[in-house]
Structure 1
Amino acid sequence: MSATDPSISPDPVSRPPQPLKPQRVLACILCQQRKVKCDRKHPCANCVKARAQCIPATQVTRQRKRRFPERELLDRLRKYEDLLRQNNVRFEPLHKDSTDKTSPKVEDGLGYGSDDEGPRAAVMDRPSPATTTSSDRLPETKNILHAMSQEFRDPDNHSNSSDDDVREIHIRTAISQLALNDDHLLFGSGKGSVDISSLHPEPIQLFKLWQLYLDNVNPLLKVTHTPSLQGRIIEAASNVSNIEPSLEALMFGIYCMAILSIDENACQSTLGSSKEDLAIRYQFGCQQALLNCGFLRTADRECLTALVFYLMSVRPGTVTQSLSSLLGVAMRISQRMGIDKEAILAKSAPLEAELRRRLWWTLVLFDARVGEMADSKSPSLTPIWDSRVVLNVGDSELRIHMKEAPQAQGTFSDAIFAVVRSEVGNYVRHTKWHLDFSNPALLPLAQAHQPHTFVEGSEMGSLESLIEDKYLRHCDPEIPLHFMTIWTARGLLAKCRLLEHYSRSSSIPRDQADAARDAAFANAITLLECDTMISTSPLTAGFMWMIQFHYPFPAYVQIVQNLKRQPLSPRADRSWEALSANYEAHHKIRTPHDAMFYKILAPVVLQAWTAREEASEQLGEPVATPRVVSYIRQVLSQRSLVSNTAQQETTSSIDMNTFSMPMPMTFDPNMFFGMSSQQGYTSPEPWVNPGMVGLSPLNVDPNQIDWSSMDWNLGSAPATTESNDLSGQSLQY
């Protein structure tokens, strides 16, 4: 018997007909949907006129409306996409096409395109083609707000539930609106309504600054995309009173970096103003522009880039501890944006993801260097994040509307410097010797994620082979960027070897100590020679702002200590030549920032040379005085004469150097917000120390030096025109 037999009633229980009271006749379904008056007949006049099927409302079983019926499907889809990423399976993400080509523009600091959740730290994405790290993924970090919003959700419940009202985006929005104004926390208050359009340079000078940035800064950092940014800057220059806040902040940051990258003479000849005046003007403009775009709560990449540029530009005149504190703010903003997590970067377009990745590496390496100078345990260069290294591709290969990231170049690109630095940083952050200095508790995580092979007790062998074979052998030393990359990379590797030696020195067996110390001696000489190469070459004149930031102080300490202990070492002559050449590169032109060299290193250099003279005299061998020793003796002699003359002429004056204080001592007020002077250094004789000549022998122990009080800004101040030559002329300071 067929189940579709019309003689069979679908109702298994037969009910006798009962008289029912007339039911209320409702409007048909179509009339209800059209919101027109229905004559309540069947078929109604409207349906007949429209030639549509007339369905009485009483024949439709009303179902409870489900709120957001696709929500569970989207959650499941996200989960499956994460699983695909974890297993390195290529696929087309559901929301990839909807990702904006630029960073989110928000005012409340959320910056997330989803209506239900912000970025969640997830597992590590597929490995970079530009790195050799292990594909082992990092543990997943859960989001407490997302977990709270999902606590009472029943995937099988299709009813309208009030649980949907407690959603992550609502919580974030409510939190962000608790305080209406937080601009007063840094850079003062933006309530003064400063018209920063008047602080922009004239169009001709604006494009000069832009070109200086492209020549001197962009090749080293690569945090901006020239093809897409240049058109926006040209358009903005035509109407500086109506520029998007984040772009305006970025433009002022570019001005600041352009001024940082040139010296006083070039600034006067190119821009017609002093470097100090322009720096004050553009740094103030950058502060105000950052306030205008709410930089403390931003999720905008260009705004964060402007903040990083500002901090880099004020570095030469800023105490490192103050700068380190402000860098902590920038680091926290970047982590909230998720630019350190590949799972979040994967949701952005390839161009935006790569620019954020480059910005993260720039910020991390900058923070690590400032932390090193401030003697703080930098928490940034650690294995707890999973951002990949910079992709070895040029700007022309990154396009706004591209859907897939381009393949890394097998040779070199215009991002080679940033690529090599990130490659070294990515390797170092997993090494035992680096974590010994920063956070030893993270060593198990680093070794589990990226185990390194020890060759002759060192972790650096595989990295050196990688850098040389994969990158440096393809570079042309006649190209300025390639020349800078070659010698910076080799110097950086030598520095890593030297720091690794310091980490292991206490555990080296006694019978191997001399060999290890000799190897460290060789690495220190190599570091000094590499720094001299890039400091004296005309190819790198525009990159001096970066070179001066990495003064090779550890190499000086290691070399002079070895020369004191082994004055007749086979490496002695090479060492003295390396010291002399590097001194001429950094100190032949006097600057106020030479105080550290003359207070810490100069006495030990003289002691090392005294030991060499005594040893040569015993052997009856003539010895020529190195240039660095002659320079130091002349400077100290003239300083002593100037100090004695000043004391005789003005006995009532007070010389700060006569006070008893820890050495070295610097004073720098330049980090005050609303500063009136950028340099802030008024002493005409910053390194005067009448008692320096004839100091008792000083044995420099790197562990006993007060690194945090040291003035690291060697060579960064505007140079005076006086040259420290040996012509017999009296030097004026």
Structure 2
Amino acid sequence: MGLVIRSAEKLGYHRDGALLGLSPFQTEERRRLWWQLQHVDLALAVRSGLTPLTLMADWDTKMPLNIEDDDISASTTEFPKERKGLTSLSYCLYTYWVIDQQRLFFHSEKSRFELSWQSNKSLPLPLKESLINQLEDGLNQNFLQYCDPLKPPDVLLQLSARALICGMRMRSLHPLAYNGLQGHTSEGHRDALLTACMQSLDYNVAMHSQPSIRHPVMCVLVEAAQQDDASKTQRIWDLLSDLYSTNSTLSQLADDRRKFHAAELVVAAWKARQNNPNLDQHLSKPEFVTHLETQFPECRTGLAQNSSAKVVQDGSAGQRVEPVTPDSFLAEQDVDAVFDLDFQDIEWAFWSSID
């Protein structure tokens, strides 16, 4: 991807075509290509835990116009007027717009833009809230108000945008809720974080997909084990049940160790709740918890066999055999006790680094 970006820069795609005296058609074509490269580069950077260097560089290519393909052609001599409302390009434009707004904001604040700005403890909360509110208002005004609930692409755009803003608020609240930073009390922020996490899971349930649910699932599980409000407890476990029923692949534990570890934590949260005499015990055991439990013996056996096979294979090659990292992080006896932990005890690196 770095080679592609460098090649695009050598061809001048980082300069806006209008400044170079190119035709409207060529300019629009270059804008669409450059911004899509930025989007793909950013997506790959997120997987690597990095911020693309080009994101804050001094390039001036403007965003593509909100038009349909038929509105412009090679013979067009003037830029067409942008359409009001959504077009076939709007789903792409929404992602470009979010990137552009963050670039402009951090340029104006003379700050360094990095993908982790929401959880960056050195940035004051009012600054984060200012940008998040600005993004939410802009998304509502430019995109979401035009969404038609009968059109699947519009629904996907709306859910994606809402989940994006919700995720930003969630990550900005995390340090305050569990570390008591910046002179704030953590209890109110903890409630706000739980609300944001549950809302994030609601959006993911609605989209029938599992990406980006790691952080909210972990937060909700901690509260599921400790929550003393009966109605909120019921809501949490109903939400987790919906998550597993609408995302059937989450129950296929053998094909991804994140799913197996998440399932272990779900069962641990339930057992911790049932073993706590200070909490309401009238909640019926969810069926999905029982279903996950029944898969554990087979999954642990399979993981053990895979680990043994790796040792034999590495040893037969005459290479030094490294200790095998277990794919299951909980021994069977640990499941009952694991939820003595609080939110800050979760190993976030596990969920952030594995792909």
TM tier relative to shorter chain: 0.7 to 0.9
Confirm or deny that 1:697 pairs with 2:338: yes
Structure 2 letter corresponding to 1:594: D
| Alignment partners' CA distance in 2, 1:590 and 1:533 | 20
Deviation at 1:513, TM superposition (A): 2.1
Give the C-alpha shift of residue 416 in structure 1.
1.5
Please name the residue that 2:196 is paired with.
Answer: 523
> Match of 1:459, SS?
helix
1:388 aligns with 2:50: no
CA distance in 2, matches of 1:608, 1:438: 31
Q: Does 1:633 align with 2:306?
A: no
Are the structure 2 counterparts of residues 533 and 439 from structure 1 closer, same or farther at C-alpha, using a change threshold of 3 Å?
closer
Give the length in aligned residue pairs. Answer: 331
Higher relative contact order (CA 8 A, sep 6+): 1
Contact kept? 1:365, 1:381, Cα under 8 Å: no
Pairing of 1:278-317 with structure 2 (within 5 A): none
Q: 2-side partners of 1:459 and 1:487: how far apart? A: 20
Deviation at 1:417? 0.7
Secondary structure in 2 matching 1:392: coil
Which residue number corresponds to residue 583 of structure 1? Answer: 244
- 1:654 aligns with 308
Whole-Å Cα distance in 2 between the matches of residues 357 and 607 of structure 1?
50
For 1:465, the equivalent position in structure 2 comes to: 137
Residue 484 of structure 1 is matched in structure 2 by: 156
Q: Is the 8 A contact 2:149 2:155 kept in 1?
A: yes
5+ residue gaps, structure 1, are 1-326, 448-452, 536-546, 648-652, 665-688, 712-733
Quick check: 1:347 aligned with 2:44? no
Conserved in 2, the CA contact under 8 Å of 1:587 and 1:594? no
Query: Amino acid of the residue matched to residue 635 of structure 1?
Result: Q
Residue in structure 2 matched with residue 595 of structure 1 by the alignment: 257
Structure 1 residues 595 and 564: CA distance shift in structure 2, 3 A? same
Q: Distance in 2 between matches of 1:331 and 1:580?
A: 43
Q: Deviations over 1:404-424 (max 9, x none)?
A: 222222211111111211122
Does 1:336 find its partner at 2:10? yes
What are the superposed Cα offsets for residues 695-717 of structure 1, whole Å, 9 maximum, x if unpaired? 36275756751467512xxxxxx
Deviation at 1:657, TM superposition (A): 8.8
CA, structure 1 residues 360+415, in 2 after alignment: closer, same or farther (shift >3 Å)?
A: same
Q: Does the alignment pair 1:614 with 2:258? A: no
Paired residue secondary structure (1:551): coil
Note closer, same or farther for the CA distance 1:351–1:526 as it changes in structure 2 (3 Å cut): farther
Q: CA deviation at 1:402?
A: 0.9
SS at 1:632's partner residue? helix
Equivalent residues in 2 for 1:204-219, closer than 5 Å: none
Alignment of 1:158-557 (within 5 A): 327-342=1-16, 346-382=20-56, 384-430=58-104, 435=112, 437-438=114-115, 454=126, 457-502=129-174, 508-535=181-208, 550-557=211-218
Between the aligned residues of both structures, percent identity stands at 19
Q: Using a 3 Å threshold, how does the CA distance of structure 1 residues 620 and 604 change in structure 2: closer, same or farther?
A: closer
Structure 2: which amino acid aligns with 1:693?
E
Q: 1:501 to 1:620 in 2, by over 3 A?
A: closer
CA distance in 1, matches of 2:98, 2:201: 19
Seen in structure 2, the aligned counterparts of structure 1 residues 620 and 559 have a Cα distance that, compared at 3 Å, is closer
Structure 1 residues 366 and 499 mapped into 2: Cα distance closer, same or farther (>3 Å)? farther
Q: CA deviation at 1:359?
A: 2.5
Q: Which has the larger radius of gyration?
A: 1
Contact 2:15 2:59 (C-alpha < 8 Å) held by counterparts? yes
SS at match of 2:243: helix
Q: How far 1:620 moved relative to its partner?
A: 5.2
Aligned equivalent of 1:80: none
User: Which residue of 541, 545, 559 maps to 2:220?
Assistant: 559
Aligned to 2:53, the other structure's residue is in SS state coil
Q: Counting helix residues as a fraction of each chain, which structure ranks higher? A: 2
CA 1:370/1:640 → structure 2, altered by over 3 Å: closer, same or farther? same
In the TM superposition, residue 496 of structure 1 has moved relative to its aligned partner by 1.9
Cα deviation for residue 521 of structure 1 reads: 2.0
1:425/1:571 Cα in 2 relative to 1: closer, same or farther (>3 Å)? Answer: farther
Q: Distance in 1 between matches of 2:230 and 2:129?
A: 24
- Cα 1:704–1:455 change in 2 (3 A) is closer
RMSD, aligned CA: 3.8
Looking at structure 2, the residues matched to 691 and 703 of structure 1 have their Cα atoms a distance apart, in angstroms, of: 13
8 Å CA contact 2:258–2:351 kept in 1: the answer is no
Tell me by how many angstroms 1:365 deviates.
2.4
